[in-house]
Amino acid sequence: MKALYAEQFAPQDPLAGLCFGDRPEPSRSEGHEIVRVVAASLNRHDLWTLAGVTMVPFDPPVTLGCDGAGIDQNGRAVTIFPVLGHGPKFQMLTDGVDGTLAALVKVPVANVVRKPEGLSFEEAACLGTTWLTAWSALVGRARLQDGERVLVQGVSGGLSNAVIALARALGAHVTATSRTEQGHILGLKLGANEVVAPGTPLADPVDVVIDSVGAKTWGHSLQSLAFGGRAVCLGATSGRIGETHLRTIFANELEIYGHKMGTEEEFRALCDFVEWRDLHPFIGAHVDGLEAGQELFRRYARDEIAGKAVVRVDPALAPRRTADAQM
């Protein structure tokens, strides 16, 4: 079967290891299900896999793609929970296990979840990594309550997109940060109450900060928290060493969490919530067919896409609900 896969690890130039070609079809085994993939989305985890930054040691090749949606063996429309192990044994699809950027993917039965009604296959293919991480961070780690104030550092990435949309749907007042006019427009479209420039002092302190930017925003994140506020670090795209004033932490009795992904139960709860509130992931770019996914990967790696990047693996089965505006 055709697939997009990592032929080799290339730490200096990750895309040098990206290939389109034939991969073995998965074989049936007890406790697993084979899903016909209709759509799959790209994530940073795919770029890390190409660079050889993996959760468990293994030798390539491996099919890429953590997230996807498709048709299961019983003809049901489903989406895929991408986590295969938690804690010290944390593992995801692509960590030595073939992923969703192929015609077929094999996953444990528990990882196959009913596709939320109202979502296209493209949209459902965006839920597994960024939306699950955002949901788990807000509901699990930060314990967000209706009416609280949230600061989201960044707008354009798929993760910050999800945090903004979910936080508003959970009843929070959301402030997001962006350096560009397009980012301000997108942030408001996604549901933010206001969008400000990074580092802007806030008139009202917030109860929760979600920060995946890292070094450039971490100091501002802590300074923006109210007494007893909670900060959740989900990444460090701008650098791993951020400014931290310890007096701010102990004087304001702040709670600081590091977090990644979420549990199967949280993923099922997310799917139910998305269906109930009629939420739709913002798709910034999509292509038809796996071969076209190579160029999509290049654009994604250059940070040219605001929102999620999706490959319509089987375009005939993936009618679009609506076309998202290109930002």
pLDDT value of residue 322: 43
Residue 19's domain spans which residues?
A: 2-126+281-317
Going from the C-alpha of 19 to that of each of 8, 35, 154, 273, 312, the distances in angstroms are 9, 22, 31, 36, 17
Cis peptide before 61 (omega within 30 of 0): yes
C-beta separation of 229 from 254 below 8 A = yes
**322: its two tokens:** 């609506």
324 in a structural domain? no
pLDDT value of residue 49: 97
266 in a structural domain? no
295 in a structural domain? yes
93 in a structural domain? yes
19, burial (CB in 10 Å: exposed 0-12, middle 13-18, buried 19+): middle
Going from the C-alpha of 12 to that of each of 9, 47, 51, the distances in angstroms are 9, 11, 7
Q: Are 142 and 217 members of one domain? A: yes
Cα 143-264-238 angle, rounded to 5 deg:
60
pLDDT value of residue 145: 97
Q: Are 298 and 249 members of one domain? A: no
Kindly state the DSSP code that residue 76 receives in the 8-state scheme: -
Looking up residue 160, the CATH number of its domain turns out to be 3.90.180.10
Going from the C-alpha of 278 to that of each of 174, 188, 314, the distances in angstroms are 19, 18, 24
For the chain, what is the domain count?
2
297 in a structural domain? yes
Q: Are 152 and 122 members of one domain? A: no
Q: Are 236 and 295 members of one domain? A: no
Q: Are 58 and 157 members of one domain? A: no
Q: Are 25 and 94 members of one domain? A: yes
Q: Are 76 and 145 members of one domain? A: no
Nearest of 207, 248, 201 to residue 226 by alpha carbon: 207
Q: Are 29 and 107 members of one domain? A: yes
274 in a structural domain? no
Q: Are 287 and 227 members of one domain? A: no
Residue ranges in the chain modelled with pLDDT below 70: 319-327
38 in a structural domain? yes
Q: What's the half-sphere exposure (Cβ side, CA atoms, 13 Å) at 111? A: 27
268 in a structural domain? no
C-beta separation of 175 from 154 below 8 A = no
CA distance 41 to 137: 21
Q: Are 50 and 162 members of one domain? A: no
Backbone angles phi, psi at 210, to 5 degrees: -115, 115
Q: Are 138 and 211 members of one domain? A: yes
Q: Are 175 and 62 members of one domain? A: no
CA distance 95 to 84: 9
288, burial (CB in 10 Å: exposed 0-12, middle 13-18, buried 19+): middle
pLDDT value of residue 320: 58
CA distance 81 to 127: 8
